[in-house]
Structure 1
Amino acid sequence: MRAWRNYVIGASMLADRLHRELQDGHGLSLADYEVLVRLSEQKGRRMRMSLLAEDVASSKSRVSHQVARMEREGLLRRRECPEDGRGVFAELTDRGMALLEGSAPTHVKGVREHMIDLLSREEQAVVAKVFDRVIAHLRGLDG
């Protein structure tokens, strides 16, 4: 029970802190930062909306609203999928890339300061292994 409760409280506090640091320094939410990161890692800086939703562990509806808002802010744009006409891509704009590049040092510093540097290499490996297993299990239930 201690492991579970500490995880719930710690994960919430960590996400809140990282969000606040991005918001205060760059006017960017943690959720929006994650979308920008995922798109920046893709060929052509774009990916299908359905895969983006899966990648950020969110519903398609929630990501659709988020992408629409980010599109209005000029951070990304939606494009029809030329292969099937039904699919839609979210594509990172130059403005979105610039915001990501400007905010990444703040985020990386926060992740290191508030988590990574508090753990030994062995503890980092254990955390990674545990959550690889949790994610695989939950994706197996959903898929």
Structure 2
Amino acid sequence: MALQSVVNRGLVQQHQLSLADVQLLAYLKSRGPSQMGTLAEMLMVTPSAITQQTQRLERRRLVRRDASSDDGRRVLATITKGGARLATASLETYARLVRAHFLDELSRPQMIALGDGCRRISARLKAIDSTLDRPDT
């Protein structure tokens, strides 16, 4: 949690964005327009919280919210050009902060071990996730 706090503080100081804001902008930049429910699930927040967050980002003209052309009851969030530029800059800051406060403290063998551990955990989680997605037979 300390690393997350340091990173969040640095992002707020440099870009006036929280870590959650950066995650949201990065998601929209990579995935394109997304339903509000999908964004809430991704950030693990309530629909109300994601609405408030996107409204704040919308006031800064970083995202836009529009009714879905397929179903007018659904709202899609879309990153703006300014939001995409700020996402890129804030992700560079994020990487710099993580490197400075976490990775630079590790030796090369420790980094290799960390990478191996993360790959193993990721592979296991993907395997679990894929079994959860399969219908019961």
TM-score (norm 2): 0.78
**Aligned pair count?**
125
Match of 1:77 in 2: 64
Q: Could you tell me how far apart the structure 1 residues matched to 2:115 and 2:83 are?
A: 30
Match of 2:19 in 1: 30
Identity %: 31
Match of 1:122 in 2: 113
The question of whether the paired residues in 2 share the 8 Å contact of 1:48 and 1:89 is answered with: yes
The question of whether the paired residues in 2 share the 8 Å contact of 1:53 and 1:63 is answered with: yes
Which of the residues 88, 95, 110 maps onto 2:75?
Answer: 88
Rg comparison, structure with higher value: 2
Extract structure 1 runs of 4+ deviating beyond 6 A: none
CA deviation profile, 1:72-91 (whole Å, cap 9, x unmatched): 11110101111122211110
CA deviation profile, 1:94-119 (whole Å, cap 9, x unmatched): 11112112222111111223334434
Residue 70 of structure 1 and its aligned partner are, at CA, apart by: 0.9
**Any stretches of 5+ residues in structure 2 without a counterpart?**
133-137
Q: Could you tell me how far apart the structure 2 residues matched to 1:130 and 1:54 are?
A: 21
**Any stretches of 5+ residues in structure 1 without a counterpart?**
1-11
Cα RMSD, aligned residues only: 2.2
1:52 maps to 2:39: yes
